[in-house]
């Protein structure tokens, strides 16, 4: 499927990954963003203000009437709207309603209006801690959080629509993604922005647990390219695919890479209690993405951290003020 001159709906398009996806899609298409701005930000899409090819709808994926209205005349849906992992610890029902029920409602509306393709952006959290590495798409689902379980439900609904109705849908499973616009605030705060903020303020990074847990950190440009390539690949219909860097980095190593790049190797991390349900090991096998649609990630963790720090410094942010609002245990 050629991604040009189409009408595209991106749910969660004002969020971190969604806004980067919208940046790419708007180059040759018309885009509708559906976002309730619970974690998404106007500033992530402000540079498109006045673009006649972008319509922003403030609304909820649980609103069935709204879904009925906005899926009319849409060619492709990229479904990214989500309540995050840490929110799922305190608000499991809301997480279920948005991530699982919201996905089902959107599938139903998309099928009813003959949307030609449905891309569900899932998460490596569906796997839980690795039983073997690298983790391919056949790795069992053993989510450790309600968030991960709700993403499994979203995946299974998406693929069930393909099996039951022959609906052209697919699942893309990004691993931990970082880069410009990733969240540093409150319950949404991610590990890389949080480490950067603390170190810029001369404070040691705080690691939950012993720091030996690993993630396959993937730069947002690579994640978005993977989503776009997958969505154009006909062989992906009815399939799931990993999108990741394909390298394993421990949280301890991540803290030292960031400290080194900020010239603060003297700041040794503090270790605090583990986050409930924390996955201990993630490392992706990305050979399916390479085989099916030629996906090869570009950005190593060191380069990605450098780009993120450059971006952060170019913003009008005060690191001190941002840290003032920090909640150490942000779940």
Ligand X SMILES: NC(=O)c1ccc[n+]([C@@H]2O[C@H](COP(=O)([O-])OP(=O)(O)OC[C@H]3O[C@@H](n4cnc5c(N)ncnc54)[C@H](O)[C@@H]3O)[C@@H](O)[C@H]2O)c1
Binding site for ligand X (CB under 6 A): 11-12, 14-18, 34-40, 60-62, 80-84, 98, 102, 121, 123-124, 151, 174, 176-177, 188
Question: CB-wise, 102 or 267, nearer to ligand X?
Answer: 102
CB of 153: closest distance to ligand X in angstroms?
12
Alpha carbon 104 to chain centroid distance? 19
**Nearest-angstrom CA–CA distance, 93 and 96:** 5
| C-alpha 238: how far from chain center | 21
Comparing CA positions, the residue from 56, 46, 80, 25 lying closest to residue 225 is 25
Q: How far apart are CA 328 and CA 194, in angstroms?
A: 10
And the tokens for 290? 């390479």
Neighbours of 82 (CB within 10 A): 28
147 is catalytic: yes
Q: How far is CA 159 from CA 68, 128, 169, 214, in A?
A: 21, 20, 7, 29
Nearer to ligand X, 34 or 115 (CB): 34
Smaller CB distance to ligand X: residue 29 or 158? 158
Read off φ and ψ for residue 120, nearest 5 degrees: -95, 120
C-beta closer to ligand X: residue 118 or 188: 188
First to last CA, the chain: 40
Query: For residues 55 and 8, what is the distance between their CA atoms, to the nearest angstrom?
Result: 10
- 27 half-sphere exposure, CB direction, 13 A CA radius: 7
Which tokens in the block code for residue 306?
């450098």
Shortest Å distance, C-beta 60 to ligand X: 4
Nearer to ligand X, 74 or 267 (CB): 74
Smallest gap from Cβ 287 to ligand X, in A, equals 19
Of 120, 147, 167, 308, the catalytic one is 147
Least separation, in Å, of the C-beta of 266 and ligand X?
29
Least distance in angstroms from the C-beta of 220 to ligand X? 8
How many CB atoms lie under 10 A from the CB of residue 101?
Answer: 16
Catalytic residues: 147
């Amino acid at each position: 499927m050629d991604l040009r001159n189409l009408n595209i709906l991106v749910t969660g398009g004002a969020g971190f990954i969604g806004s980067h996806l919208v940046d790419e899609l708007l180059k040759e298409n018309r885009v509708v963003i559906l976002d309730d701005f619970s974690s998404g930000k106007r500033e992530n899409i402000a540079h498109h203000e006045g673009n006649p090819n972008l319509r922003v709808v403030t609304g909820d994926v649980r609103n069935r009437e709204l879904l009925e209205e906005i899926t009319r005349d849409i060619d492709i849906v990229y479904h990214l709207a989500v309540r995050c992992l840490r929110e799922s610890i305190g608000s499991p029902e809301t997480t279920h309603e948005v991530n699982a029920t919201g996905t089902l409602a959107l599938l139903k509306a998309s099928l009813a209006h003959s949307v030609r393709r449905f891309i569900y952006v899932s998460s490596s959290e569906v796997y839980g801690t690795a039983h073997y590495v690298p983790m391919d798409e056949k790795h069992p689902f053993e989510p450790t959080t309600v968030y991960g379980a709700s993403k499994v439900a979203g995946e299974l609904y998406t693929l069930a629509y393909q099996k039951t109705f022959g609906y052209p849908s697919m699942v893309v499973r990004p691993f931990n993604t970082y880069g410009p616009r990733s969240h540093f605030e409150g319950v949404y705060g991610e590990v890389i922005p949080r480490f950067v903020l603390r170190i810029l303020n001369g404070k040691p990074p705080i690691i939950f647990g012993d720091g030996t847990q690993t993630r396959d950190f993937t730069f947002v440009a690579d994640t978005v390219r993977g989503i776009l390539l997958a969505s154009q690949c006909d062989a992906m219909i009815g399939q799931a695919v990993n999108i990741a860097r394909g390298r394993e980095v421990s949280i301890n190593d991540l803290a030292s890479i960031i400290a080194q790049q900020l010239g603060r190797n003297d700041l040794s991390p503090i270790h605090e209690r583990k986050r409930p349900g924390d996955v201990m090991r993630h490392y992706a096998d990305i050979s399916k993405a390479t085989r099916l649609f030629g996906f090869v990630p570009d950005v190593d963790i060191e380069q990605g951290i450098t780009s993120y720090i450059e971006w952060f410094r170019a913003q009008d942010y005060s690191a001190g003020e941002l840290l003032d609002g920090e909640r150490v245990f942000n779940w």
